[in-house]
Structure 1
Amino acid sequence: MSDLYSGTDLFSEFDRLQRHMASLFNTFPSSLRASRFGTFPAVNIGATDDAIEIVAFAPGVDAAGLDVSIDKGVLSISGERKPSRQDLSDDTRVYAQERFTGAFRRVVELPQTADPDKVQARYENGCLMITVGRRESSKPRAISVQ
């Protein structure tokens, strides 16, 4: 055989390397829209013929402290969730704490059909609902045949 053969199965080594590389990159989002589990705030994104609808689930956040902006086709939602008023006493040992507190920022890449001049946002029952209108040129329209 060749001098390069080291006595191990070359295909097993490639398989091991591929698994190792996949485990390294599984923790990173593949795009601005993809995210890891536990990213705050969680979002649902949908579309109609007239608008892109984004719902960010942000319970416990003061609406006045939310900042929503669009720059270069990227929607940014930022703010801070303060600790709850029901703080535990000093002698309480915490076994698990799943509620996120602190500053956050979430970005969503918008489609090119989004019109940054047509944005509405409202906060209700812990949900930030953002509607981004579509450009008139991108909306479906009927064309009459002559």
Structure 2
Amino acid sequence: MALTMWNDPFMTEMDRTMNRMLNTFGMGSLFPTTTTRGTTGTDIFRPSTTGALGGTFNIPMDIVETANNFELHADTPGMTPEDVKVELDNGVLTVSGNRKVVREDTTAGGRVWRSERSSYGFSRSFTLPDNANPEGINATIDKGVLCVCIPKKEMPEMPAPKRIAVTGGGGGMKSIGGTAGTTA
């Protein structure tokens, strides 16, 4: 008889919950989860990301529409304008950035006992709507919050809907190769 590990359902659910929580903060799945078939994998309820151990992940962004603009808001703590890129290519706006944390064993004041901050990168892409004006896009960082402002443009007025009258032909349909209703 082979020994098998008993999978406690509470702990399996707890692992999944912890992974979802860590993914929310961009830390990735630090704990493997065990599926019902006994195989190990990552949490399937969230996209795969890495963060606490370094890497790239999708930072949460708010999208706000005002009367004249679309605005993207993202928390970018510790980043400068040089750390963030905003690019537009074929109607797709990509916002990306990198945060670098330099680790040292000692500082001017003494020895570092614990260092929990990490370097990371992020990248998000959005397809702009038809009424976005790509010429006036601007981005600012203020107090650790990135704001990308996309102005709206005036859309040409669509013609008013109208009803097309349907009439009877009386003589039947005519086909391209001859008259309708003839048989060979």
- Flag as ranges the 4+ runs of structure 1 deviating above 4 A: 87-91
Q: Mind listing any 5+ residue stretches in structure 1 that lack a counterpart? A: 1-22, 30-35, 140-146
- 1:10 corresponds in structure 2 to none
Secondary structure in structure 2 of the residue aligned to 1:64: helix
1:3-22 correspondence to structure 2 within 5 Å = none
TM normalised by structure 2 equals: 0.47
Deviations 1:20-74 (A, max 9, x none): xxx9863349xxxxxx8x8443211110121101111101112122110112222
Instruction: Figure out how many residues of one structure are paired with residues of the other and give that number.
Output: 109
Deviations 1:92-142 (A, max 9, x none): 466xx4x55133222223222211111111111001111101121179xxx
CA-atom RMSD in angstroms: 3.5
**What letter is aligned with 1:106?**
R
Q: Mind listing any 5+ residue stretches in structure 2 that lack a counterpart? A: 1-41, 52-56, 158-184
- 2:92 corresponds in structure 1 to 74
- Bigger RCO of structures 1 and 2 (CA < 8 A, at least 6 apart): 1
Structure ID, larger Rg: 2
Tell me if structure 2 keeps the 8 A contact 1:42–1:58.
no
TM normalised by structure 1 equals: 0.57
1:52 is matched with which residue: 56, 70, 77? 70
Is 2:38 aligned against 1:26? no
**What letter is aligned with 1:76?**
T
Stretch deviating more after TM superposition (58-67 or 125-134):
58-67
Distance 2:139 2:43 in 1: 37
- 1:42 corresponds in structure 2 to 60
Calculate percent identity across the aligned residue pairs.
Answer: 27
Distance 1:116 1:137 in 2: 14
Distance 2:81 2:156 in 1: 32
Secondary structure in structure 1 of the residue aligned to 2:155: helix
Tell me if structure 2 keeps the 8 A contact 1:113–1:138.
no
